[in-house]
Structure 1
Amino acid sequence: MIDIEKAIKWFENRKGKVSYSMQNRNGTSSYDCSSSLYYALRSAGANSNGWTIDTKHEHFWLEKNGFEKITDNVPWKAKRGDIFIWGKRENNSSSYGHTGIFIDENRIIHCNYSANGISVDNHDRLWVYAGRPHYFVYRLKEFQDEGEYMELLNIKSKIKGYYSIDSLPWFCEDKSMIGTTQNHQGEEVTLTRKWGSYYYVKELKGWVDYRAFINEKAIREVAKEVIQGNWGNGELRRARLENAGYNYEEVQKEVNRLLKSK
């Protein structure tokens, strides 16, 4: 069983003591992002891969070691121990992707070129600076609490995309396809639960990818959240809104209207 605290401790113990190198990535004095994560998790109880993983093969290795993908490029609430991977899975090479581990809701510890070693940084700021790359996040299954990531809802939305209707979200091994949204275009439905990037549709009695729906929140609701500070500021706000599928200009226009009406 992996002890995620030991993995974080591995990074902390080497902060300021090792350098970054893609050529000499197997330690003990230098690592790159994926090799450092590999050795950190190995020290914490993860099984050997036979060779030091890169970010492309990290997905498979994490899944074999009890991690579950909790998001695929969809905003989520990070927690200590979450592992992020930047870069699309199908073309993610060791020189293109990046990875590290969250130490709290906002900060990550990772081995990187800029620091020439291990550093602690704000994830979202770094993500924006890096050009908002596609991201995946994995979490140890024993860290999962269904109440934390299965959100109860009662939202009306309209179907706009052609996606499968499944018995469970796609990341569940025993899921099965029970239909598609092809014949339900434009229908108003009720979203009652959110699990990762999937919604449970009451009328269809199944789980559907979030991209099948027109944004579930009215622009006015999102604008109120922006005013409350829930979406960050500046470029970070724009990135989060656009990544969640909202039109930044429309939201900002409503924000300005609400502020003027006060």
Structure 2
Amino acid sequence: MVVLVPELSFLTGLSDLQKNSRTVKEVMWEMMQSPRKHYMRLTSLLQQIRDSPEASRELERWGLHLDTDICKTQGHILPLERINLQHRSFFPEEDLSWHREVTKEVSISVISLNSWLLVYPKRMQQLAKDLLAAMRSTCGAMGMQVGQPTVQELRDERIESYVKSIRSGLGSQEKVQLLMCITPRNRDDMYRAIKKLCCVQDPVPSQVINAQSLMGHPGKIRSVVQKILLQINCKLGGQLWGVDIPL
């Protein structure tokens, strides 16, 4: 059991006001540091506390003592597992990431996207065209096919307009594999309304995309589109990769 002293503890995490892309990027960069760098920073912090007379006096006042090193323990190192795709198998790199392989190779099971609905505000018409072009140029390497969607352009960006257009689009087609919505910004109320409609009222797989994630240099957009296609394949019932069972 770990007992925390309230006067020496601080609340961590990000508030809603601090949730911007730059802050999140900096936090993720800090979290992705190697174990060695984490260790060096912790030992540096311990050294700074020891070298600070004020900090040392405060610890003495509480009857606390900090060790010169962090607690060390021997962990169990598991062997690497082989990742299986449809036509090849491989072992992941040291960072345990295989995003590059699954976006350049055919997945175990691929579901093509033939009948789907695309909803976006009219002012984002060019962005929607660029997204569709990027999806079609990227899907081939994954063994996936993306057909022409049924397009619903909105006159405004109100939640009611999205809901009305989605209901109209779903009602006019017998079978819709996927609903894709492009939203102008990150709005929780709009996201919840779309997901409630697609999960409860008119069940259909859905993909909500923040328009800001599609803006930037081509390399970034391509990476975003690849992740979107992987998600869509899973939502349609496809299987990206697998491991040998039993482990």
When the two structures are superposed, what TM-score results if normalisation uses the length of structure 1? 0.20
Report the structure, 1 or 2, having the larger strand content.
1
* Greater relative contact order, per chain length (Cα 8 Å cut-off, separation 6+): 2
